Structure 1
Amino acid sequence: MIRLAANLTMLFTEHGFLDRFAAAADAGFRGVEYLFPYDHDPQVLASSLREAGVEQVLFNLPPGDWEAGERGLASLPGREAEFRDAVIEALRYAEALDCPRVHAMAGLLPVDADAYTRAHHQATYVANLRFAAGEAAKAGRQVLIEPINTRDMPGYFLSRQAQAMAVLEAVGADNLRLQFDLYHCQVMEGDLTRHLERQFPAIGHIQIAGVPQRHEPDVGEVHYPALLSRLEALGYDGWVGCEYRPAAGTRQGLGWGRAHGLTTDH
């Protein structure tokens, strides 16, 4: 059975952040994810989760200076110490929030990156992910990597599915998994069903959104009922993160999810 998680960075923004947990639960979600927890004390977030009766299923490692445009540290040469600190901080939050997985954003390539620069980023990425996976394994957690499309995030180091699978193989850690975002894959490559089938053994988390506007999953060029049915048939027992921007209010756009326990009432 498909289990939907609300991405509280994008959904229920009609509410203050700490009120979004209850709003998600009221709409039928039983899991939540978001980009970053670090603006809030972990015990405050844990209390919000308990009171709403929802599970924390995913969040990202500290990404560097997000406001300055940084989008992760994992592949950035010279930032290894900062990345290691980010891993430790994320795992501290994961422990407090009983969150089983964290996402390590790869970061951006320089605009003038050549083959040498890319190779340096690749080597840094693999080494950093080995460290992250090792620390996460001690804590019983998974680390995820996610190809992100370069239209929404120009210069992102990890953008294609084959690239991600090669990184997983190079690192060789059982708890390093693929965060498979169907929206990003459609923008970059398409052929979603075949990608889903080929990469299924490596998948640790799924995310969805309509393409191309990143609105509700029932709007746009991707037929999600077929993909979610295929996911069920493959035996997926994880979460499906709803990481989209509502075209109007969040609640008004949840009709697509009624088959999976969501409600638009009140």
Structure 2
Amino acid sequence: MSAPSSLKFAANLSWLYTDLPFLDRFEAAAHDGFQGVECLFPHEHPMTEVRDRLHHNGLQLVLFNAAPGSWAQGERGLACLSGREDEFRASVDQALELAAALDCPRIHVMAGLSDPASSTAAWTRYQSNLSWAAQRAAQAGRTLMIEPINTRDMPCYLLSKQRQAHDVVQAIGSPHLQVQMDLYHCQIMEGDLTMQLRQWLPTGRVGHLQIAAVPDRGEPNAGELHYPHVFAELAALNWQGWIGCEYKPRQSGPGGTSAGLGWWRALQAA
């Protein structure tokens, strides 16, 4: 397999450098050599401050999440929830405005939690809401992402399998709606990761990848996934998109994120 030197990694600032205030994490990521960053909820911080930190540190914001409802009260997205259509639409419009201001091309739209007894109706609402949202994203020149999330970490999350996500994207048929393939979640729910990558990446429907070790969600240098093989596979499949580092550094405290980047330095050296 070819060397993975062309792979592009983005630091997830909601998971990395957490010993620092959020706005200080941009400089830390740039200092470690990242050129791209992603995060969960930039709307929780002053937009002008986020924009200035990106510009000052020469960073590109490659992905963020639309507002998911009340995270503190356990909500994990609005797209499939009954009676929340207006709030969902407002969250999408607000995210598209923020994406324009921050020059971010992709927005992750969370599906929400669903009672299995009402999943049929939830899926219908989900697809209807995403169809509307994809049209708005097209008008704004942005791309919305949907991400299968494992039900061990997020019980009752509506979208948990790659096939489900691809079926929705294919049914809606908009290039402004794509799949966000988190390899940590995919390994937990489905395994056989090499064949999953070979099946889904060539479709052109995957717009973003994320990585973490399994099962501890730490740096991608331990656990049941052999990431050197995964990275070589991505290079062989000619993956051109970003790879988000959405993991929890095993070393806590000051400097823990930087100390755990040996896996990335080894890739760069190779």
Q: Give the C-alpha shift of residue 260 in structure 1.
A: 4.2
Q: CA deviation at 1:40?
A: 1.4
C-alpha separation in 2, matches of 1:62 and 1:171: 22
Question: Secondary structure, in 3 states, of the residue corresponding to 2:90?
Answer: helix
* TM-score between the two structures when normalised by the length of structure 1: 0.95
Aligned to 2:3: none
Amino acid at match of 2:15: M
Deviations 1:95-124 (A, max 9, x none): 0110000000000013xx32xx11111111
Deviates more, 1:189-198 or 1:63-72: 189-198
CA distance in 1, matches of 2:176, 2:234: 21
* 1:2–1:260 Cα contact (<8 Å) kept: no
Pick from 62, 66, 86 the counterpart of residue 61 of structure 1. Answer: 66
1:44 aligns with 2:49: yes
Summarize deviations over 1:155-190 as a string: whole Å, max 9, x none: 100001111111112211111101000000001110
Q: Secondary structure at the match of 1:225?
A: helix
Where does 1:116-155 land on structure 2 (aligned, <5 Å)?
117-155=118-156
Amino acid at match of 2:198: E
* Count of residue correspondences: 258
Question: Where do 5+ consecutive residues of structure 1 fail to align?
Answer: none
The Cα of 1:48 is off from its aligned counterpart by: 0.6
Shift of 1:43: 1.6
**Amino acid paired to 2:89:** R
Distance in 1 between residues matched to 2:267 and 2:99, nearest whole Å:
27
Shift of residue 133 of structure 1? 0.8
SS in 2 for 1:64: coil
The aligned runs of 1:156-167 (5 Å cut-off) are: 156-167=157-168
Matched, 1:202 2:205: yes
2:108 maps to 1:87: no
Structure 2 SS opposite 1:44: helix
The DSSP-based 3-state class of the residue aligned with 2:42 is coil
SS at match of 1:38: helix
CA distance in 2 between partners of 1:129 and 1:57 (Å): 20
The farther-off stretch of 168-177 and 49-58 is 168-177
- Find the partner of 2:227 among 219, 224, 228: 224
Q: Which residue identity is paired with 1:197?
A: R
Q: CA deviation at 1:229?
A: 1.3
The equivalent position to 1:240 in structure 2, one of 225, 240, 243, is 243
1:73 aligns with 2:74: no
CA contact (8 A) 1:179 1:206 kept: yes
TM-score (structure 2 length as normaliser): 0.93
RMSD: 1.1
Counterpart residue number, 2:108: 103
Report sequence identity in percent: 53
Matching of residue 257 in structure 1 with residue 264 in structure 2: yes
Unpaired segments of 5 or more residues in structure 2? 1-5
